[in-house]
């Protein structure tokens, strides 16, 4: 750890991790409360809603936001930034028009009446979630990792606040009715009956929290941008944006297909779980990811953002990327191993103790998915090397294989009515998949270095 802190890479990672860790303490700390305020079905319906937005987010800015960190000159990067927002605005207006003309058709197709009041919030969520992502890449380009960290903190804390308030109102249990202490005692009482079913207020609380979180996080970035960079907007013009669009044309042409494949997989998995099984099963599945990936995403996302900036910088300077790849995977493995090993051995007991007996099944799912999620955590950040080395086509094909494994495994589980079988097949195949990806990333980085 001392060696990590001494390097610029390590300092930037720790800067992001510090703020992000504080931010993630809230959702993790309040998850035992949320699982007693909301039902597994409501977690499942919300996961389905988020998967729709995530799918729409894939091409919301043409994937050009990822190119913001690549140009050497800020005058070029600010045009990529402007291009991203231009595409986003056109895209959101198009979604709004589509919803205006086909609202009834969409409601019938989804067959989720509890989501009907929130369909019109989809384009708004897409705008602010995508804006947040664009600003994140700009902030990381400028190495303002402390601002990125602050934005994560405000986004997460505001989201949790809305969920807690909404959950309390769901049961008509306001703080001034019982008092906060008595309220906490009541939901953790051994005779407390965990909620079931789906309510408009329950789903609405989750949806509003998603919107509020990205809105406030974007505002934090906006203030920082206006303070430091607004004068750079004078370089933005139509001719320069077109030039940058051509230079980085592989991002919308190939990278977007890669991302779309990932989201097709996510939507497909959620659809199979919610329609082949039930909202409850999807709720357990989403909780498994919430518990396992939420704390680790603090570390993983911090490493990924700094790794992307650092590797892009090293590539521009014609430096060897292999040592950075190996050291990053090694550090992430050492961090994650104790956590995943504990879940593998004691998952159901941990989930049941913290979240309530009803949620022990999510701990069982976690045991089956641990090998896959461990390797995903340790290897996912270094896959950005393929983007930097202009290997989007190859990584896209690899991602299709990975997505086919995931969706196919879940589909098998759905066909046989045994989701645990699907999870087991998924993890076994993903072990071989990620080992191959790791070796391939090293090989293309080594090949690039030998050409220099």
Residue segments in the chain with a per-residue pLDDT below the cut of 50: 1-6, 173-176
Buried b / exposed e across 280-316, counting CB within 10 Å, b at 16+?
A: bbbbbbbbbbbbbeebbebbbbbbbbbbbbbbbbbbe
Q: Which residue has the tokens 């190939």?
A: 254
CB count, 10 Å around CB of 90?
A: 12
What's residue 2's pLDDT? 40
How far is residue 342 from each of residues 91, 201, 291, 345, measured CA to CA in Å?
Answer: 44, 35, 13, 5
How far is residue 377 from each of residues 91, 320, 372, 381, measured CA to CA in Å?
Answer: 31, 23, 9, 8
Q: What is the chain's length?
A: 452
Rounded-to-integer distance, Cα 375 and Cα 433, Å: 10
Q: Are 39 and 196 in contact (CB under 8 A)?
A: yes
Q: DSSP E strands: which ranges in 14-93?
A: none
What's residue 295's pLDDT? 57
Rounded-to-integer distance, Cα 314 and Cα 327, Å: 15
Q: Locate the domains of the chain by residue range.
A: 2-451
Q: Are 433 and 403 in contact (CB under 8 A)?
A: no
Decide: helix, strand or coil at residue 199.
coil
| Closest CA relative to residue 12, chosen from 378, 313, 305, 314 | 305
Q: What residues contact residue 440 under an 8 Å CB cut-off, 6+ apart? A: 394, 398
Rounded-to-integer distance, Cα 230 and Cα 135, Å: 13
Rounded-to-integer distance, Cα 288 and Cα 52, Å: 19
Q: What residues contact residue 185 under an 8 Å CB cut-off, 6+ apart? A: none
What's residue 286's pLDDT? 75
Tell me the whole-structure pTM to 2 decimals. Answer: 0.66
Buried b / exposed e across 48-69, counting CB within 10 Å, b at 16+?
A: bbbbbbbbbbbbbbbbbbbbbb
Burial class from Cβ neighbours inside 10 Å (0-12, 13-18, 19+) for residue 228 reads middle
Rounded-to-integer distance, Cα 343 and Cα 329, Å: 20
What's residue 319's pLDDT? 84
| Closest CA relative to residue 365, chosen from 354, 352, 380 | 352
* Helix (H), strand (E) counts: the chain: 18, 0
Rounded-to-integer distance, Cα 8 and Cα 21, Å: 19
What's residue 83's pLDDT? 94
Q: Which residue has the tokens 């202009």?
A: 390
């Amino acid at each position: 750890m001392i060696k990590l802190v001494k390097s610029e890479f390590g300092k930037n990672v720790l800067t992001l991790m510090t703020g992000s860790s504080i931010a993630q303490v809230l959702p993790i700390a309040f998850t035992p409360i949320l699982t007693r305020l909301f039902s597994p079905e409501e977690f499942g319906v919300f996961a389905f809603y988020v998967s729709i937005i995530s799918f729409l987010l894939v091409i919301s800015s043409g994937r050009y936001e990822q190119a913001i960190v690549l140009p050497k000159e800020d005058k070029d990067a600010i045009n990529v930034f402007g291009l991203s927002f231009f595409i986003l605005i056109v895209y959101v207006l198009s979604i709004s028009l589509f919803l205006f003309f086909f609202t009834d058709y969409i409601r019938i197709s989804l067959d989720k009446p509890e989501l009907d009041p929130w369909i019109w919030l989809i384009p708004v969520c897409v705008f602010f979630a995508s804006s947040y992502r664009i600003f994140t890449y700009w902030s990381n380009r400028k190495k303002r990792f402390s601002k990125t960290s602050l934005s994560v903190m405000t986004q997460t804390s505001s989201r949790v606040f809305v969920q807690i308030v909404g959950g309390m109102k769901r049961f008509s249990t306001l703080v001034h009715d019982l008092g906060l202490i008595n309220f906490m005692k009541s939901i953790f009482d051994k005779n407390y009956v965990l909620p079931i079913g789906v309510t408009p207020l329950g789903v609405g609380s989750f949806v509003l929290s998603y919107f509020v979180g990205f809105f406030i996080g974007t505002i934090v970035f906006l203030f920082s941008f206006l303070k430091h960079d607004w004068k750079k907007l004078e370089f933005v013009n139509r001719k320069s944006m077109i030039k940058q669009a051509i230079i980085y044309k592989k991002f919308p042409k190939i990278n977007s297909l890669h991302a779309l494949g990932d989201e097709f997989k996510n939507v497909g998995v959620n659809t199979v779980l919610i329609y082949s099984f039930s909202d409850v099963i999807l709720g357990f599945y989403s909780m498994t990811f919430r518990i396992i990936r939420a704390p680790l995403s603090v570390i993983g996302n911090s490493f990924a953002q700094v790794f992307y900036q650092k590797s892009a910088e090293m590539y521009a300077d014609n430096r060897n990327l292999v040592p950075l790849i190996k050291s990053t995977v090694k550090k992430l493995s050492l961090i994650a191993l104790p956590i995943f090993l504990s879940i593998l051995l004691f998952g159901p007991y941990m989930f049941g103790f913290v979240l309530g007996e009803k949620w022990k099944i999510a701990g069982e799912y976690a045991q089956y998915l641990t090998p896959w999620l461990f390797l995903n955590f340790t290897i996912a950040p270094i896959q950005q090397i393929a983007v930097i080395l202009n290997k989007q086509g190859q990584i896209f094909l690899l991602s299709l294989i990975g997505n086919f494994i995931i969706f196919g495994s879940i589909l098998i589980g759905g066909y046989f009515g045994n989701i645990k079988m699907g999870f087991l097949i998924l993890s076994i195949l993903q072990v071989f998949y990620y080992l191959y990806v790791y070796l391939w990333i090293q090989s293309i980085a080594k090949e690039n270095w030998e050409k220099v």
